[in-house]
Amino acid sequence: MKAKTYALLAMVMLSFTFGVPVSAKITDEHPSKTMDKTEAATATKLAEMRARVAEIKAMDKTNLSKEERKSLKKELRDMNKKARALGSGGVYLSVGAIILIILALILIL
């Protein structure tokens, strides 16, 4: 009786683990084409930001009011944040991931 129960339980568990992904989206485009589009878009955005920064630096700021100077500073800070977000492609590791890597290295060595 126990063997039948365990076999049935094992079959149920295995049937849930080997499901077929039905909602997978099939795309016709090659992944490199979409990468090129996004890289080109980020490059144009960065070029526009650089042009705007150069334009702001070339401005005569002595005639501007206090509010206009504040708005320019705020605009430059926002563009700096956006540029860092667009340009960063680094890998970020959490503390837990670093601990797991260290433990794995200790176990291997």
pLDDT by 10-residue block (mean), the chain, 109 residues: 81 68 57 61 86 90 91 92 76 82 88
Cα 9 to Cα 2, 20, 44, distances in angstroms: 10, 20, 57
Angle between helices 31-58 and 66-87 (to 10 degrees): 150
Q: What is the pLDDT of residue 76?
A: 92
pLDDT of residue 18: 60
pLDDT at 98: 87
| Spatial contact of 46 and 85, defined as CB atoms under 8 Å apart | no
Flag whether the pTM goes above 0.75.
no
pLDDT on residue 37: 62
Helix (H) or strand (E) holding 18: none
pLDDT at 11: 79
In this prediction, residue 73 carries a pLDDT of 93
